[in-house]
Amino acid sequence: MLVKNSTLLGYKKKLLLIILLLVIIGIVFIYSASTVLAIELHNNSQFFIKKHIFGLMLGVIGYCIGRLIPISFVQQYALLWWLCASIVTLATLYSPYAVLIHGSKRWLKIAGLIFQPSELLKMSFIIYIALFFSKQPKTKTVSSYIPLIIICAITSFILLMQPDFGLTITLLITTIFLFFITCSSLKYFLLLVGFFIVGTIGLIISKPYRLQRILTFLDPWKDPKGKGFQIIQSFIAIGSGGWYGTGITHSKQKFFYLPMQHTDFIFSIFAEETGFIGSIVLISLFAMIMYIGLFLSMNMKNRFGAFCVLSFTILIILQSIINIAVATGLVPTKGIGLPFISYGNTHTVCTLAIIGFLINVIQNDSKNHC
């Protein structure tokens, strides 16, 4: 049963409040985690936080665009947007403007600005699959999924060429979740999961460094000063936090012990400085996003809007789970940031644009409840 318009708007406000809290947490802990590294690399303790604030300013613009863009326009040009994003992302492999960072070609540098096109591809891919599943009839055939299979295959190919194994897996798992929700055939779902597992294993085996990550994940103490160094330092950071933490800005692991302390492993610094209690509060905020997103998606009239809310909720929560799981040693390292908190301007801008678009579809749907 659909809820009242006032209820949808109430949950929208709660969602925005949680996002605002996470953004504030991100500002505080990017500053805390990055100061030492910023002094070492740029002789300016505020280097990274200033860039992050600039990214947030652009993110506000992205939010406004997402909030105001006509939903019908997004639906009409979803495939074209995905195609353009795919071409730009592919350019990171061949363009003279491509930038190699940490062994991956995921960035372009134009007019002095570095951005990550795969974030645009991620957004456009999710919008396309939301549109695809929203248009699926109750009675489905295998052939009806061919367009989705093609889009998934091309997107995966482009991302794996960079390589960005973590984002590839994240997008495919999101797609599988949506397939599970809409598919009436358990046989097809199990077949899809089987293909995914076999394909993932094949991709891991095909690249020695991916296999090495699995081996390091299983026993990081085998090479504590080499491959296992980062995750061990993450353990030390989290363990040092105890119940209440060492206090904000008082992390010891940020002093060149823990690599990527302001990006992929910012949760470790957060846990060190706020302790177990702070970590539970942060995880609870993401859990609330999941609850609100699921509630809204189940109570919206417009199928496209509902699938957009559901898809992006799954994506944000999945990224959060993977990031925290990596920091705590539950899964191998993936290179996925913590939404709203990790440093990364393209990620920040695109994530806030996503939130703007979700508020857009929620607001639009609430009008139809009147």
pLDDT by 10s per residue, the chain, length 370: 456 677 778 889 999 999 999 999 999 999 999 999 999 999 999 999 999 999 999 999 999 999 999 999 999 999 999 999 999 999 988 888 888 877 777 889 887 788 899 999 999 999 999 999 998 766 567 788 889 999 999 999 999 998 899 999 999 999 999 998 887 677 888 888 898 999 888 888 888 888 888 888 888 888 888 888 999 999 999 999 999 999 999 999 999 889 899 999 999 999 999 999 999 999 999 999 999 999 999 988 889 999 999 999 999 999 999 999 999 999 988 889 999 999 999 999 999 999 999 999 998 887 765 5
pTM metric for this prediction: 0.93
3-state secondary structure the chain: CCCCHHHHHHHHHHHHHHHHHHHHHHHHHHHHHHHHHHHHHHCCCCHHHHHHHHHHHHHHHHHHHHHHCCHHHHHHCHHHHHHHHHHHHHHHHHCCCEEEECCEEEEEEECCEEECHHHHHHHHHHHHHHHHHHCCCCCCCHHHHHHHHHHHHHHHHHHHHCCCHHHHHHHHHHHHHHHHHHCCCHHHHHHHHHHHHHHHHHHHHHCHHHHHHHHHHHCHHHCCCCCCHHHHHHHHHHHHHCCCCCCCCCCCCCCCCCCCCCCCCHHHHHHHHHHHHHHHHHHHHHHHHHHHHHHHHHCCCCHHHHHHHHHHHHHHHHHHHHHHHHHCCCCCCCCCCCCCCCCCHHHHHHHHHHHHHHHHHHHHHHHHCC
Name the residue ranges covered by the structural domains of the chain.
5-368
